[in-house]
Amino acid sequence: MKQTLLWAIVAAIVGLGLGAALAYVEVKPWQFDLAAGIDAPNDHSAHDHGTTPADSPAESTKQLEVKETQYEFGSMEIGTSQRHAFPISNTGSEPITVEFLTNTCQCTAVELNGLPAEGAGPVLLKPGESTTVELEWVAKGEPRSFRHGATFETNDPGKKRLEFHVVGELVDSTSLDPPLLHFGMVRVDKPAEASLWISSYLEPSVEILDYEILEPNVAELVDIKFDAGTPLNLPDPKAMAGLRVVASFRPGKSLGPFHGTLKMKTNLKRASQLTVPISGNVVGDISVFGPGWNRTRGLLKLPPIDSKKGGQVKLTVAIRGNHQASGPVEIASTSPQVLEAELGEPVEMSPELLHVPLIVSIPRGSRPMARLGGDLGAEGEIVLKTGHTVTPEFKLRVAFIVQ
């Protein structure tokens, strides 16, 4: 009896083992593809993953060819500028649009299809057509490596964003001291002067072969002359040669800040073209006061603007002198278009003083942008027509950011 029971137990154990083995052979555990993370073998068909070749998207017929996206300027003198054109072509069978989005800084001028890219809108390239993106970089600051460029958007699915860059090294074999012609605050009816030195550390002479002030309105205000330096009066005794650039302000009729660019062609091999900023602030009988206004800089700085709410500041324009003989104050222009200005009713404070309210605003719903000056976007500008006999025009620079 005991022996029979023992054999029965052994038979049961063997039977269970054989049953499990057969079940393992018949139903492979990986065929369940459980969420526990068991990897299926490599021979699974597309059907196992729920895809078929027919599900793949058709190949796009839009095709933009870009031969290069980065260009090496090499070593550049501080104050010089260089330009490079990047060709792009439509090699597909459908039209392609190319539109400027942003650049890395204001020191990088960007052109698309031969025109300034900012605000120009998209360029349409038909099949077989080509155009160029041109970058011009003005070397500013201390000796260092640089990498600047611009970003564009296209409707080519394979190249929805295009980024072009120019790279190189800033070197200092020629120096500008100071690096700009800044007049500071000048009276509208009095002359003023600003100057800088061009010093060469590698070449025995500095000569200006040609020069030009690029902005016509600044060219009307400023005269340029050059004085050769001697080793005794150079600002740096280590320099081999130098030249003094003198800018003279001519009294005029326009108030407010002015900004321009002096380009000079020289005999220097590694600095054949020098670029120098010109700036100043003309003051007179018309002034502005209120929150955010900096009289010394002629600059209104708005607080950060919420694009969903908009914002505004209230200023006062003060007109001194015989304002009764003047015409009404008017808004001549604003830039960019998102910057709005509105004048209130004039208030006569005395026979020699008139106050005019000025409201500067950014409307609700404006798109995000930065207009803080320098590398952070060109500042805005408001131009007032005053009717004043001496100073009929007044300019306000406006720095703002819309978030």
Give the model's pLDDT for residue 253: 67
| pLDDT (mean) for 168-190 | 87
Residue 260 pLDDT greater than 60, yes or no: yes
The residues near 113 (Cβ < 8 Å, ≥ 6 apart) are 123, 131, 132
Amino acid at 174: T
The span from the CA of 136 to the CA of 153, in Å, is 20
Give the model's pLDDT for residue 335: 92
| pLDDT (mean) for 301-309 | 94
Nearest CA to 373 out of 285, 308, 299 is that of 299
Task: Tell how strand 254-266 and strand 393-402 pair up.
Answer: parallel
| 286-402 CATH | 2.60.40
**Domain range list for the chain:** 64-171, 174-282, 286-402
Give the model's pLDDT for residue 148: 92
Beta-carbon count within 10 A of 39 CB: 8
Q: Is the pTM here over 0.95, yes or no?
A: no
Model confidence pLDDT, tens digit, residues 324-365: 545 678 899 999 999 999 999 988 888 888 899 999 999 999
Amino acid at 146: F
The CATH superfamily holding the domain 174-282 is Immunoglobulins (2.60.40.10)
The span from the CA of 360 to the CA of 300, in Å, is 10
What is the DSSP code string of 193-208? EEEEEEEESSSS---E
Is the model more confident about 147 or about 34?
147
What is the DSSP code string of 88-125? EEE-SSS-EEEEEEEES-TTEEEEETTEE-TTS--EEE
| pLDDT (mean) for 242-254 | 88
Give the model's pLDDT for residue 80: 81
Is the model more confident about 143 or about 65?
65
Question: What's 64-171's CATH class?
Answer: mainly beta
Give the model's pLDDT for residue 22: 39
Instruction: Compute the C-alpha angle 166/161/147, nearest 5°.
Output: 20
Burial annotation 267-286 (CB, 10 A radius, 16+ → b, else e) = ebeebebbbbebbbbbbbbb
The model's confidence at residue 185, banded by pLDDT at 50, 70 and 90, is: confident
Model confidence pLDDT, tens digit, residues 123-138: 999 999 999 999 998 8
Give the model's pLDDT for residue 258: 87
Helix then strand count (H, E) for the chain reads: 2, 29
